[in-house]
Every structure is written in C-alpha cells, then in structure tokens.
Amino acid sequence: MNTTFAGNKFPTYALLILRILLVAIFLYHGLPKAIFWSMATAKFVGFGLPGFLGPITGMVEVVASILLLFGRYWKITNLVLLFIITGAIFTVQLPKFLADINNVAGLERDLLILVGHLTLLAFNKNVRAKLF
C-alpha cells in the first residue's frame, strides 16, 4: 500500500496537523482557565470538583500544549493532556450525556481529542520531529 502523498512525508505532515489542532484546542480551553481563576474555580465547583483544580488545570493545559507544539517532552505532554481529557470525559461530558442523550456533541469532541492523543502516542517516531 502506498502511504506517500509526496514522498514519504505524508504521515509526518498528517501527524503534525493533528498535533497543531490538538494544541489549538487545549490552548483555547486552557488559556481562560489559566487567566481568569475565579471563573475557572466556579466552573469546576459547578462540575462538582474542587475549585482549586480549575486554574491548575488551565495552567497545565497551556504549558503542556506549548511543549507539545514545539515537540518538547512530547510523550509526557501527550500523557498529561490525555489524562486531562479523560477526566473531562468522565466528570463532565459523560454525566451530561447520561442526563440528556441529546447532549452528545461535547462527549463526541472529547472522545475525538482522546483518540488524537492516542494516535500521537502510537506513532511516536513521526511526532518527535520538532516544529522549530
């Protein structure tokens, strides 16, 4: 099977695009939590979680995303973000879905993010390439 698009670079570019999109998602959701601590605290309390986890989670998402973007410590950053998204699935998205099965979009999104990080971990030799 020919997996090349233009030489042998297609898998590398596909994983790079996946990596950039996952970083964008986590930065989009992590920056507000890292900057607006009271909002993050209230949001986490609303989910039934300890409030202090909100700002901490936001800061971890931002730092891990930046490290992943630049290809630094890619394995641990993927595992950290995988842990965070798994927590979001089980503490937020799954209960929302079970309460109202029409509320499925957030669960689907988070499951795709989970699969994205698993894919990056599975194809680690192509992910190790540094962006800069």
Radius of gyration, CA atoms only, the chain? 16
- Say if 130 falls within a structural domain: no
- Say if 5 falls within a structural domain: no
- Say if 3 falls within a structural domain: no
Task: Give the single-character DSSP code of 103.
Answer: -
Per-residue tokens: 125: 């030799």
- C-beta separation of 77 from 61 below 8 A: no
- Say if 4 falls within a structural domain: no
Total domains in the chain come to 1
- Say if 120 falls within a structural domain: yes
- Say if 119 falls within a structural domain: yes
- Say if 2 falls within a structural domain: no
- C-beta separation of 57 from 84 below 8 A: yes
Its domain, for residue 49, covers: 10-125
Give per-residue pLDDT as tens, 24-45: 999 999 999 999 999 999 999 9
- Say if 47 falls within a structural domain: yes
Whole-model pTM? Answer: 0.84
Give per-residue pLDDT as tens, 68-117: 998 888 889 999 999 999 999 999 999 999 999 998 999 999 999 999 99
